[in-house]
Amino acid sequence: MPFADLGLSNELLQAVTDAGYSEPTPIQAAAIPPVLMMRDIIGIAQTGTGKTASFVLPMIDILAHGRSRARMPRSLILEPTRELAAQVAENFEKYGANSNLSMALLIGGVQMGDQIAALEKGVDVLIATPGRLMDLFGRGKILLTGCSMLVIDEADRMLDMGFIPDIEEICTKLPKQRQTLLFSATMPPPIKKLADKFLDNPKRIEVARPASTNTNITQWLVPVSGGGHDKRRRLRELLEQPEVTNAIIFCNRKTTVRELNKSLKQHGFKSGEIHGDMEQAQRIAELDLFKDGHVTILVASDVAARGLDIKGVSTVFNFDAPWHPDDYVHRIGRTGRAGATGTAYTMVGPEDAENIDNIEKLTGQKIARLAAPAEPERAPRDEAREESARLPRRERSPRAERPQPRAERSEPRTERPEPRAAARPPRREEAVDAGWNGPVPDFLHVALSARG
């Protein structure tokens, strides 16, 4: 079914074309028409299925008419974490570029003053984590009585994080006459109960699980006994395989992105980097180099790489296992796209074990472990020299022609130890704030994007 048949406005069809989407994903095809008809929806879908656009697109059209009033948002989207909230805000920015809708993001870790100022001006779309919303509500800064559309996203994750009582309370503050959309990857009994209580004759839409069970992607865990040094050595071995024609390598931290890219370049790989500290123009330039094949390896942070849709990526590496299991699905989904096959390797050091447990729980799959290499571990002293000598297939950079024991030996010292708290997924949004290390997009500072 083409996008044009879903009932969206011409402006949105243009935005979808600009985003490079040729046809709706199954959740979009099934959800957009009933949402436009103002039906309540239960969408059983994970991230990676295109579910965000399945509510953002029709919301933009529904909210196109009408005016916002001070402190009275017209719609509310609840997200369990600030990363997800920021991602939804990015979607509004992307698809709503031609609309005059104003948006505010209420999340922990951002100055409350800006958020309050945004609310005072009146917003069409309020995207919030439950904790910060309840806080501002308690201070009398928000009235939810004008909110005629509610989205509860990632409901089962909200349950895991203990947000259900907050959500119940928020629901009671909204008008009874409203449209409610609930999305959840699974439907455990408390979520079913929530839906029964707060949704009105909802249409239930269920779509297949995405990338995690995408059989086009072969997934491997790569056990590594030591720290960053060992990981880099093992990574280079895997990169040397002939089937790795190009690769995106994800790291949890911007510092790791920088250090790894530097190290790969020193070893003669044609690599580049994208992370949140880079200007948008720089990121695009680096991406173009990768798309054109001038660099074959892109080292990336999650947020910088979110939504990347690059055709023909043969391999994804998780240099660190992601803190949030959803990010695993996002990351590996950068390969095996559009019917192609791909491989995803996740390096597993001692500090990654808990994250792997969470990923396997989320996806319901055990990921196979790659056997450890037979050769004994090399001393750091010899490594760079030997690696450099073993790189005949790849163009060596001028620097890599010379042995570089100095640079390589100095690297472990620059490796930052990971704080313990960040190694497990945060339980509440306060904890997410503490662990946040992604780029801070503009809308996190300003919390209001009013156009027109």
- Asked if 268 contacts 388 with a C-beta cutoff of 8 angstroms, the reply is yes
Extract the tokens encoding 60.
Answer: 């933009």
Binding residues for ligand AMP, rule: CB under 6 A, are 21, 24-25, 28, 47-53, 307
- Burial-class residue 310 by CB neighbours within 10 Å (0-12, 13-18, 19+): middle
User: What does the DSSP 8-state code read for residue 310?
Assistant: -
| Minimum CB–partner distance for residue 47 and ligand AMP (Å) | 4
Q: How far is the CB of 234 from ligand AMP (least distance, A)?
A: 29
Query: Is 31 or 423 the residue whose CB approaches ligand AMP more closely?
Result: 31
Q: How far apart are CA 42 and CA 279, in angstroms?
A: 38
When the beta carbons of 121 and 337 are compared against ligand AMP, the nearer one is 337
Q: Shortest gap between Cβ of 53 and ligand AMP (angstroms)?
A: 4
Residue 1 CB, shortest distance to ligand AMP, in Å, is 11
- Nearest approach in angstroms of CB 213 to ligand AMP is 14
Written as six digits, the tokens of 260 are 């790894």
Beta bridge partners of 126: 76, 104
Q: Which is nearer to ligand AMP, 51 or 253 (CB)?
A: 51
**Least spacing, CB of residue 264 vs ligand AMP, in Å:** 25
- In the complex, which residue's CB is closest to ligand AMP? 52
Q: Which of 30, 31, 14, 33 is nearest to 94 (CA)?
A: 14
Strand spans (E) along 69-129 = 75-78, 103-106, 125-128
Residue with Cβ nearer ligand AMP (20 or 376): 20
Given the complex with ligand AMP, which of 3 and 436 has the nearer CB atom? Answer: 3
Burial of 243 (0-12, 13-18, 19+ CB in 10 A): exposed
Nearest CB to ligand AMP, comparing residues 28 and 102:
28
* CA dist 247 → 173, 228, 287, 341, 342 (Å): 48, 19, 12, 13, 10
Cβ contacts of 10 within 8 Å, gap of 6 or more: none
Rounded-to-integer distance, Cα 316 and Cα 119, Å: 41
Q: Least Å distance between CB 284 and ligand AMP?
A: 16
Which is closer to ligand AMP, CB of 228 or CB of 336? 336
Name every residue whose Cβ is closer than 8 Å to that of residue 75 and which is 6 or more positions away in sequence.
Answer: 59, 63, 124, 125, 126, 147, 148, 149, 150, 151
* Minimum separation from the CB atom of position 156 to ligand AMP (A): 15
Nearest residue (CB) to ligand AMP, 342 versus 349 = 342
